[in-house]
Copies of this chain bind each other. A is one copy, B any other.
């Protein structure tokens, strides 16, 4: 910038004004400056600007895994909203590791992001309190934060799960299994609650025998199906608590050539092309990301007065065949 000023024969400040598109600059000077900028290939240094202005035009996005379709759609939605605000996005994957989550979040803060969007992996987020007090707003997505109050965007896990079970009940099933993720994961717990409530509302006793809670893996899935299908009155339907579980169950069912009515929580690409088509309770990761980003930018803009908000995004049941298999 100094060089540009020298080349154009003006002061530093005038170059700054031109670069920032301020109106009160003489047209001749402006063109001289623009010419020098083009000639020298000048590009403003954002670090210096950030330092001076105390804000970075940057937000941090902390996901479980950037490569997971659910999060990558969420991520894209966040990016679009950020773009509208002239903001760039740092994205990082916590890999479900609380320490890594913390490191990433604090690294984002060190970079002086204007705000954070977090899919929490850990159960304690008090480490963010100093940062939030220092003016970095945080919005949590998909799962609530551990031990602090903050804005959240959640899926209607309970309602969606309930709806999925009711759908199976509506097709005559009475022995309905639930295979979900590890119980310490918030969404897994909520979805199990929905399953339970639906059964109870229908006057069906909840039975531990029909429930599996474990991270999806070929062996845990095989075990879960063994338990569901053994005994005198085997399950005739199952609700899968997340898409990885759903896929895992589908593979195992295919291997056994077994058939089971199935509703998956969270949609899966190509679900419509399977035989039968996969019935799902679809979440809307795009809507979640957009809602989170919008709320975050509202906070960044200074709307920091109100109480913390919780936005719940609804689910949509998409019948494609697997959930409509009748009970025998």
Chain B CB within 8 A of A3 CB: no
The answer to whether A270 touches B268 (Cβ under 8 A) is yes
Q: Which residues of B sit under 8 angstroms from A1, Cβ to Cβ? A: none
- Contact stretch, chosen from A108-116, A139-147, A309-317: A108-116
CB closest chain-B residue, reference A103: B83
* A79 contacts partner chain B, Cβ-Cβ < 8 Å: yes
Pick the contact of A274: B41, B43, B58, B270 (CB < 8 A).
B270
Measured between beta carbons, the chain B residues less than 8 angstroms from A65 are 76
- Complex Cα–Cα for A45 and B106 (A): 11
On chain B, the residues within 8 Å of A91 by CB distance are 66, 75, 79, 89, 91
Is there a chain B Cβ closer than 8 Å to A35's Cβ? Answer: no
- Over the window 246-260 of chain A, the binary record of Cβ atoms lying under 8 Å from chain B Cβ atoms (1 yes, 0 no) is 010011001000000
User: Closest CB of chain B to A33's CB: distance in Å?
Assistant: 17
The interface residues of chain B lying within 8 Å CB-to-CB of A58 are 111
Number of residues of chain A lying within 8 A (CB) of chain B = 50
Say yes or no: is A130 at the interface (Cβ < 8 Å to chain B). yes
**Interface members, chain A 243-292 (any B CB < 8 Å):** 247, 250-251, 254, 268-275
Stretch binding the partner chain, chosen from A47-55, A180-188, A230-238, A298-306: A47-55
Contact A88 B79 (CB under 8 A): no
Contact across chains for A92 and B79 when beta carbons are under 8 A apart: yes
Answer whether residue A131 sits at the interface, using C-beta atoms and an 8 A cutoff.
yes
28 pairs across A/B with beta carbons < 8 Å?
A: A41-B131, A43-B110, A43-B130, A45-B110, A47-B50, A47-B51, A47-B56, A48-B51, A58-B111, A65-B76, A66-B66, A66-B76, A66-B91, A67-B76, A68-B72, A69-B72, A69-B269, A88-B90, A88-B108, A88-B111, A89-B90, A90-B90, A91-B91, A247-B273, A268-B269, A269-B269, A270-B270, A270-B274
Shortest CB-to-CB span from A68 to chain B, Å, is: 8
Known: A79-B92, A91-B89. A251 touches B273 (CB 8 A): yes
Contacts of A92 in B (CB 8 A): 79, 88-89
- Chain A, 13-50, CB within 8 A of any chain B CB: 41, 43-48, 50
* A60 → B minimal CB distance (Å): 9
The docked-state distance in angstroms from the alpha carbon of A280 to that of B48 is 49
Q: How far is the CA of A254 from the CA of B65 in the complex (A)?
A: 32
With contact pairs A56-B47, A251-B272, A270-B274 given, residues A107 and B88 touching in the complex (Cβ less than 8 Å)? yes
The residue that A112 contacts in the complex, of B47, B67, B75, B112, with Cβ under 8 A, is B47
> Separation in Å of the A52 CB from the closest CB of chain B?
9
Instruction: Determine the distance from Cα of A272 to Cα of B270 in the docked complex, in whole angstroms.
Output: 11
A93: Cβ under 8 A from any B Cβ: yes
| Distance of A50 Cα from B48 Cα, bound (Å) | 8
| Contact across chains for A130 and B79 when beta carbons are under 8 A apart | no
Does A73 make an interface contact (CB < 8 A)?
A: yes
A57 CB to closest chain B CB (Å) equals 9
Distance in angstroms from A96 CB to nearest chain B CB is 13
- When chains A and B are docked, how far (Å) is the Cα of A133 from the Cα of B43? 13
The chain B residue sitting closest to A77, CB to CB, is: B67
Q: B47 contacts A76, CB within 8 Å?
A: no
A274 to B273, CA, bound (A): 7
